[in-house]
Amino acid sequence: MKLNKPKSAKKAELHTDNTERLISAELNANIDILKELFKDCSDIVFRMFKAGAQRAYMVFVDGLVDSNTLQFHVLEQLEESEGEHFTVERVKDRLISAGTVNDTDKLDELVKQILGGNTGVLIDGLDAALIIDAKGGARRSVSEPETETAIRGSREGFTESLRVNTSLLRHKIRSNRLKVLSKTLGEETQTNIAIVYIEGLAAPELLDEVMNRLENIKIDGILESGYIEELIEDDTWSVFPQIQNTERPDTLAGNLLEGRVGIIVDGTPFALVLPATFWQFMQASEDYYHRFHISVFLRILRLIFIFIALLLPALYVAVTTYHQEMIPTNLLFSVAASREAIPFPAFIEALIMEISFEALREAGIRLPKLVGQAVSILGALVIGQAAVEAGIVSAPMVIIVSMTGIASFTIPRFNMSISIRLLRFPIMILAGMFGLFGIVLGTTFILTHLVKLRSFGVPYFAPLAPLNLRELKDVFIRAPWWALEKRPSQTIKGDLQRQRMHSKPSKPKKEGKDVEGGSA
């Protein structure tokens, strides 16, 4: 629909030969266009005031600005500037005392900034608008992460505010080499994102690849970082996550120090880390905060339980259906007695229990927190006990499913945990059809896929495949900090040295007598 604009607004019109609308020196022309653009937008406030002897307008989104900042640092300053000769530079540099003040002569840029939470100020006679950063409104404060709890470590978690998140990251890495690039994605949402990396550590080709993939995103809206994750990952058909997400600033900072690139999205507390390898999803942030003996034990425990989470129901189905000779005699008699009255084969029994367990887990997440915990725990106990007493499932199967569920909870990253849970079902089907041969077939296919997979050009199974013996000290185990002298070579294109060589601490030498025996 073509707008009927006054002749004086020719400079602000959308010309056919130039797609940019410019701001006119006549205030009424600009306001008329803005009011037409924001028609039926009741949350857009047009506040008229006097800037000295000139008429002026302040335009902002109600609820996204700090009214005190506008009142004391903009309105009062301009209203008291009687007799001033207004120029864009003078108003910006001397008359407005707000923290950040920019200007633009493009109407579309002004609209974009207003919708982004900034305030636009137009003064009659000026052919540019002032953009004042006076963001405010209701925001969630910094709190402990919900999905990445830790016994030891920072209690700070990202919030939904982009600038709060970048400030949390700056607090962790106080270096001018930490770069923050801004970009806007989403034709309608105009979502602000920040690409963060450490100059000199992140490979230039990795950064170029990230920027190219982001440039190729043409979509109407970005509401969460998961949109970007799915649009830029290497293999969208793979069930395995190829980009790590995190709520923790310390986790993102640690990955940046290893040459990776982060993406922070406005409106979500989950930042993206790329590239990612399989082993990153097996590691928790506090692995690097505990003493290395504890970290080694926990990592080995997780690796054992990931196999349990993936294979235990399938092994039970295969052994009880096809390979009873592998079970010790006394245990075989016990299993046979418990299954004597069960009307279903082991595969159907396992399928029923696994689906029920997943449904209970999903119900516990979707219900209110206090109610959800009670439903998931009591539901599992009551349904499991009732199913055994009714002769629908056997007691060993309840134990197997419970152990499998506990094992899946030991995986630190939810997106990897749910991938293992999904793969459990095809492995069970193969075990029900072919026994142990089916399990071997399924695991071979999974391992082959993992070895072939890439994340932004980095092998997903690195440093195990291709093998790099030096970097294995931070995969299955976590070597002492003094032994981690080098950064990972897969992502670094620069200085690999993390710390000085031979930094292992030594015992202090005793000089003279001990304290108990007197002074030296």
pLDDT in tens, 51-68: 888 889 999 998 888 888
Which of 132, 153, 181 is where one domain is finished?
132
Residue 4 contacts by C-beta under 8 Å, 6 or more apart in sequence?
none
Is the domain of 439 the same as that of 298? yes
Please name the residue ranges forming H helices in 233-368. Answer: 249-256, 292-322, 329-338, 346-366
- Measure Cα distances from 24 to 30, 34, 121, 364 in Å: 6, 12, 13, 58
Is the domain of 172 the same as that of 260? yes
Q: What are phi and psi of 13, to 5 degrees?
A: -75, 160
Distance CA 151, CA 381 (A): 28
Over the stretch 354-369, which tens digit does the pLDDT of each residue have?
998 888 888 877 777 7
Q: Give me 82's structure tokens.
A: 């009687």
Supply the mean pLDDT for the chain. 86
CB atoms within 10 A of CB 468: 14
Residue 332 contacts by C-beta under 8 Å, 6 or more apart in sequence?
324
Which of 425, 459, 493 is where one domain is finished?
459
Is the domain of 124 the same as that of 39? yes
Query: Is position 2 within any domain?
Result: no
- Measure Cα distances from 125 to 34, 50, 56, 385 in Å: 17, 13, 10, 80
pTM, full prediction: 0.86
Full domain range(s) for residue 37: 7-132
Q: Which residue shows structure tokens 């235990």? A: 312
Over the stretch 263-276, which tens digit does the pLDDT of each residue have?
999 999 999 999 99
Which DSSP state fits 65?
Answer: B
Is the domain of 97 the same as that of 168? no
Distance CA 64, CA 118 (A): 8
Distance CA 519, CA 505 (A): 25
Residue type, 387: A
Distance CA 343, CA 251 (A): 50
- Measure Cα distances from 413 to 218, 225, 244 in Å: 29, 16, 8
Which of 132, 152, 184 is where one domain is finished?
132
Number of domains forming the structure of the chain: 3
**Confidence label for 14 from pLDDT (cuts 50, 70 and 90):** very low
